[in-house]
Structure 1
């Protein structure tokens, strides 16, 4: 067991689903903990179980999938309720995102809390977020979700009153940087739509944004039109969005391209140069992976008119 030896009673042993195996060498059985399960530490194991807290910056972005990490961090946001995911054979699991930060990084970190941790533990954390609590998380694993994030494991505990040198130093840092942390928290709440005011931006304003002031989940809407005059932005557009922009079905665009129907394309080009439309962009995963800000197309918000029906041959 993690950081100690324990006796476990009233736990069910059942065949292990392939999706839960870390490697092919794992046994074909899994232990399921329920409310009747009792876990007690072995009495002759006198070793103290102390979390080995690290800073967020010390966690490798591409860690071994078997490695687990303890972190102490400031909780900025907790989803208001768990999201329920239906897996194979109707099995339902719960997940809830916790957003944290510490003094080693400008970029908040998302922790995905699963199953029991997504219920009462997260409810308690959510009630404390206004106070910017310093909380300990043990036995977390690195996840590629949203570029770089962390996820709870079967061994994870949430230490609501974390103790030790690192939690104490973080509490001092919170006291000295309360305004800065409140500003970051307000941006997260705005991003999550809790008191969002949607504003249209320009390409020039978009280019002014820095990695340190941009959140991984951020989305920005702006008008892409020649008359804007603030700059240009190259984007890659795929099937569904291409149909919205060109106001034509994908098969018609494909047919025009391969038949070299330049007349029709020129008409589309002229229309695009004179008709404004709105798109939504957001940072790609290089933001949380490498602290590098690059923008990708997320959605075509609106066009001036509905898509055209397929033209007759």
Structure 2
């Protein structure tokens, strides 16, 4: 059970309550303790207070309350996060300056890392000293570090952040002069191992020095690194190539902008992340890429994450996301019942079975809303509601009685409509800027295209003339901005295509160029750029 001291009680009970002491306590008020304040699930859900009538009687003999120190090697690697340990070790390193760290709750804390070792471990262990301990106590240790002293820490917890380490708690105390049989044995070992410990201390200082260059090694040397000849914080550079990149191993998904956890929210939508508990994060494209790298000495399988993939492919995460979900990796088809939340990297194949128009005027004028009902091969239905600002975009794209492959759309079960429908479940599907609606191959196209070659376009045309042009893409400009005739700035992407009048012509005069600018269509812009870069089409 937890006890709590407030204000002046802290100094008043400082000498009355000693770490590891045994006491008989009477007349102490007991109150319920909310679950969020319980750090250990084995604790009772109560807290003990200390009032004026509280009586504290020590049962331990004076001077007998010594910490039950463990050596570094005796701390179990499988300990729970709420287990606490008293640890001794030989001091090797103290971080020169305390760092400021912001917690998930927004509180600012200071921390300094300390490294200790003993005779039973091959790896020094990091101890994190927080807030008050990162001040004077750490300064005292820093003044003693060159003499390799044996120091003690009480109330440490196990942490798995950046490997196995120990972190301080509210119960942690630092003792620069611990006593006990284990301390005497460790001091004896330090006296016999001065040279070994001095070399280890020198290596730690080099690894921890931010001004030291990161060494370059080959894969063969890297694989020969073992715990006995490598420090936990060592970093290396590799000069490698990816001999056979497999683009099917690109995993592009929508995730939290803060922690990267996968989410079902649409791209650009703001939400509260359940994983990192941060409020106001955005759903944005995140990328992982698994590949095998080689440098001639060996091979290694690695995983590149979002920041590294943008460097590898020279593309933004958004472009890679559009590339995977539209051009290169054809997403597998799924039935509606197999999906929940977002269609993600999957495609729904469904047929338009009904279109209902809702007009704003009684006489049938002013189309305000269109309800389109789809049905898949199992008879499961889903509906989308196209409002006034969406009707123009999808007009002519979705036709009656045609089948479509739909991807990157959010899906949600309509509980009310399902309860009123005896034929089965009904889902609502929500289109967004990343949604792709494509007629099934082999079906009649929504609009008959009359393709012409570039050379067939008259040199004098009227502004209202329109042409469906066929050609080979040879140039894609980066995203740029242009000013339209209506004096407003719009996003544009310039694509250059070519064709030839005759297959036997080899003179330059018979090559014709045509520039096409895509306005506003963010999805098209990203796809064209991604297509050009991935397939080696260079400006």
What is the TM-score normalised by the length of structure 2?
A: 0.42
Offset at 1:201?
Answer: 1.5
Other-structure match for 1:270: none
By how many angstroms is 1:213 displaced?
A: 1.7
Among residues 90, 94, 110, which one is paired with 1:78 in the alignment?
94
Provide Cα deviations, 1:6-34, integer angstroms capped at 9, x if missing partner: 89xxxxxxx99976530475457999xxx
Residue from 299, 308, 320 that aligns with 1:232: 299
Give the direction of change, closer, same or farther, for the CA distance of 1:147–1:90 in structure 2 (3 Å limit).
Answer: closer
Greater share of residues in strand: 2
| Residue correspondence of structure 1 range 45-56 to structure 2 within 5 A | 45-46=60-61, 48-56=64-72
Counterpart of 1:250 (choices 311, 317, 326) is: 317
Tell me the C-alpha RMSD between the 2 structures.
3.4
Structure 2 stretches of 5 or more lacking a match? Answer: 1-16, 25-31, 51-55, 244-293, 330-477, 480-525, 532-539
Shift of 1:108: 0.9
When residues 195 and 102 of structure 1 are mapped into structure 2, their CA distance, relative to the original with a 3 A threshold, is: farther
**Is 1:241–2:304 an aligned residue pair?**
no
> Is the contact made by 1:76 and 1:99 (CA closer than 8 Å) also made in structure 2?
yes
Specify which structure has the bigger relative contact order, considering alpha-carbon pairs within 8 angstroms and separated by 6 or more residues: 1
Distance 1:158 1:17, change over 3 A: farther
Q: Match for residue 4 of structure 1?
A: 21
Match of 2:112 in 1: 96
> Structure 1's 239 and 96: CA in aligned 2 closer, same or farther, altered over 3 A?
same
Q: Which residue of 1 aligns with 2:153?
A: 137
Greater C-alpha Rg: 2
- The equivalent residue for 2:182 is 166
Alignment match, 1:110: 126
Distance 1:69 1:115 in 2: 19
Q: Quick check: 1:190–1:197 contact (8 Å CA) kept in 2?
A: no
* 1:199-251 deviations in Å (ceiling 9; x for gaps): 22111221221122222222111211379421222111122211211222334
Query: Could you say what secondary structure the match of 1:223 adopts?
Result: coil
- CA change 1:234–1:88 in 2 (3 A) is closer
CA distance in 2, matches of 1:249, 1:78: 40
* Aligned equivalents of 2:96, 2:36: Cα separation in 1: 28
Task: State the number of aligned residues.
Answer: 254
Decide which of 170, 173, 180 is 1:154's aligned counterpart: 170
Query: Contact 2:155–2:168 (CA<8 Å) still a contact in 1?
Result: yes
- 2:39 is the counterpart of 1:22: yes
Hey, what's the Cα distance between the residues in 1 that align with 2:34 and 2:232?
32
Secondary structure of the residue that 1:80 maps to in structure 2?
coil
Matched residue SS, 2:111: strand
Aligned to 1:35: none
Residue 159 of structure 1 deviates from its aligned partner by 1.4
Alpha-carbon displacement from aligned partner over 1:48-102 (angstroms, at most 9, x marks no partner):
1112111212111222344321111001111112222345786432221111111
Retained in 1: the 8 A contact 2:35–2:45? Answer: no
Aligned to 2:439: none
Cα pair 2:111 2:134 within 8 Å, conserved: yes
The answer to whether the Cα contact below 8 Å between 1:74 and 1:135 also exists between their aligned partners in 2 is yes
Residues 248-290 of structure 1 deviation map (CA, whole Å, 9 limit, x = unaligned): 233433444455659xxxxxxxxxxxxxxxxxxxxxxxxxxxx
Q: Is the 8 A contact 1:16 1:30 kept in 2?
A: no
Q: How does 1:260-279 map to 2 (within 5 A)?
A: 261=328
Query: Is 1:184 the equivalent of 2:200?
Result: yes
Alpha-carbon distance between aligned partners in 2 of 1:204 and 1:188, rounded to the nearest angstrom: 23
**Is 57-66 or 237-246 further displaced after alignment?**
57-66
What is the Cα deviation at residue 153 of structure 1? 2.1
Contact 2:111/2:131 (CA < 8 Å) preserved in 1?
yes
- Kept in 2, the 8 Å contact 1:74–1:132? The answer is yes
Q: Secondary structure at the match of 1:51?
A: coil
Q: Where does structure 1 lack aligned partners over 5 or more consecutive residues? A: 8-14, 32-40, 263-307
What is the CA–CA distance in structure 2 between the aligned matches of 1:243 and 1:197, rounded to whole Å?
Answer: 25
2:254 matched residue in structure 1: none
Which residue pairs with 2:239 in the alignment? 223
Equivalent-residue separation in structure 1 for 2:49 and 2:299 (angstroms): 55
Going from structure 1 to structure 2, the CA distance change for 1:84 and 1:42 (only over 3 Å counts) comes to: farther
